[in-house]
Amino acid sequence: MTTVNTNFGDDACPHPDVVGDAKRDALDDMLALGTAEIFRVLGDSNRVRMLHLLSTREMCVCDLAAATGIEQSAVSHNLRLLRSARIVRFRREGKQVFYTLDDDHVAGLLRQGIDHARHSNPREEDDA
């Protein structure tokens, strides 16, 4: 766990109660790393576009490629990353593999991110 010096020169931290509460509420290193990894994987516009489609329907690689205009090999690569981060899951039907979001947490993150982007860019609200 990272230790933060709360002394600033000769003055002690002026809010020890706040610091104490914050230390109790702090994430442990492993949880912080896992959360950062989720956001790292989500930090790609092509993956966000794919996830948006997968939040509304189950799709195979070729359908995702056709719907997004992303090369099929790039779609497959991105799905592998998303699957390893447990953001999407798949099911096999014969030779076809269908993808969907892993759970409602992922859908909620995606929805909140899109809502925040719309809020940050009022022009997007007009287009929606």
Map out the domains of the chain with their CATH numbers.
27-127 (1.10.10.10)
Tell me: the pLDDT tens digits for 101-118?
A: 999 999 999 999 999 999
pLDDT at 5: 55
Q: Please, what is the end-to-end C-alpha distance for the chain in angstroms?
A: 44
Whose structure tokens read 């899109």? 114
The strand pair at 59-60 and 96-101 is best described as: antiparallel
pTM score of the predicted model: 0.77
98 contacts 90 by C-beta, under 8 angstroms: yes
Nearest to 114 by CA among 128, 102, 101, 100: 128
User: How is the beta sheet containing 59-60 ordered, strand by strand?
Assistant: 59-60, 96-101, 88-93
